Amino acid sequence: MAVAAQSVAHICAQAQLASRELAKLDTATKNAALEAMAAALEQRADEVLDANARDMEAGEEAGLHSGLLDRLKLTEERLAGIAADVRSIVALPDPVGETIDGHRLDNGLDVRRVRVPLGVIAVVYEARPNVTVDCSALCLKSGNAIVLRGSSTAAHSNAVLAEVAASAAQSAGVPAGAISIVNGGDRDELRQIATQDGVVDLIIPRGGEGLKAALKEHATVPVMYAAAGNCHVFVDASADLQDAVAITVNAKVQRPSVCNAAETLLVHADGASEFLPRALRELRESGVELRVDGRARTLSGGLGDSLGEASEEDWNTEYHALILAVKVVDSVDEAIEHVNRYGSGHSEAIVTGSTESAQSFTSGVDAACVYVNASTRFTDGGVFGMGAEIGNSTQKLHARGPIGMRELTTYKFVIEGSGQVRE
């Protein structure tokens, strides 16, 4: 496995060499490598958890907020879940070599579009050591080499996890350099990775706006942003009260540090007086700090004095914490306008009993995932049946939503003839 002592250019060049061998590997070899990775995670769990404990201790001393610490933390249960995700990727069809479509021309040529790996994928991420294994597994199965660049906050965890994954994969026949890590956390390393033209085929960042801005400043290779999630739940006037409360609480509380957690609650004025008192009370009992607009305060059922005041900044904020902004709107169209103005294009939900409202919301909201009567928390490659994910893309090219194996491929045209020449 590549280590940080080597230059970024050397690590990326070795990854490119490995990618050419990976593209030709048969499915059985790739699956055997993934099985070896999952087994190694289980066998070396104590080593991984010890490394993570060092990162957690350093993070607490550095004053990382609770959301980042939650993302950073590994437990026996979470590590077992990571291993299970690797095995779920084994069970999925291999996308490489799949014929997307095909046809025969009048001259007898057979034209097919065949799925192929992208090549070398660099993943740049912050404080989420599970990404090290999830991304490595997805890239391996889709025939891509991966260069990992984690943050300094998870340096010990990432180093061990990358070594576990790389050594296990090599033991099963995967070429050296297929999984490598640049683990120094230096911003110059990011610049170097982002300028590896002709070597790195795609960069996928997972992190905040600072990381995104740094890549926009330097990147000369393609970037697919696995962006932040400023997500909304809109409770329509016709919503079932019990469902609306349950969905709202789940979207905010179930795991507030992740990108598909709700950050703003929008409530139709016609149902607000019935919905808000119950919903706000349950949210407060779950430890949520509430920041509300004037009408929400008035309709809160006597909770007004204990509620914070929402500002323009709140509508724009991804909290990663138990904080929720609340606003009353007069129509579905106003809710859609608010979501499109402030949302990040990640995951948005409407709770409604109206087919017309649902259709208006799903067609009008510009986001990768739009839910009707369900929590935003379901946006996840594993939940969607993709085994795992590298992130969630809020772009429109070339992939949108959870980034799984197929999103890590492109295609080539394969044309077969019987001696045809063009006149």
Check pLDDT > 50 for residue 147: yes
Residue 422 within a domain: no
Whether 206 and 347 map to the same domain: the answer is: no
User: In the predicted model, what is the mean pLDDT of residues 66-88?
Assistant: 93
Q: Are 86 and 115 contained in the same domain? A: yes
Q: Where are the beta strands (DSSP E) in 1-119?
A: 99-104, 110-117
Same domain, 215 and 312: no
**Is 160 inside a domain boundary?**
yes
pLDDT score recorded for residue 227: 65
User: Are 297 and 344 contained in the same domain?
Assistant: yes
In angstroms, what CA-CA distances link 189 with 58, 125, 148?
22, 13, 11
Q: In terms of domains, do 89 and 168 share one?
A: yes
Same domain for 57 and 23: yes
Taking residues 208-217, report their average pLDDT.
Answer: 82
pLDDT at 2: 44
Domain presence at residue 276: yes
304 lies in the same domain as 409: no
Average pLDDT of the chain, as a whole number: 94
Domain shared by 251 and 216, yes or no? no
High-pLDDT (> 90) share of the chain, %: 83
Query: CA–CA distance from 317 to each of 97, 305, 383, 395 (Å)?
Result: 42, 23, 26, 19
Question: 44 or 67: whose pLDDT is higher?
Answer: 44
Q: Is 390 part of any domain?
A: no
Does 48 share its domain with 93? yes
What is the per-residue pLDDT for 4? Answer: 44
Same domain, 206 and 329: no
Please give the residue range of the domain that contains residue 334. 231-378
In a domain? residue 256: yes
Q: What are phi and psi of 44, to 5 degrees?
A: -110, 25
Could you tell me if residue 395 is inside a domain? no
- Give yes or no: residues 201 and 67 share one domain: yes
Q: How many domains does the chain have?
A: 2
Shared domain check, 243 and 221: no
225 by DSSP, 3-state: which?
A: coil
pLDDT exceeds cutoff 70 at 185: no
Domain membership flag for residue 383: no
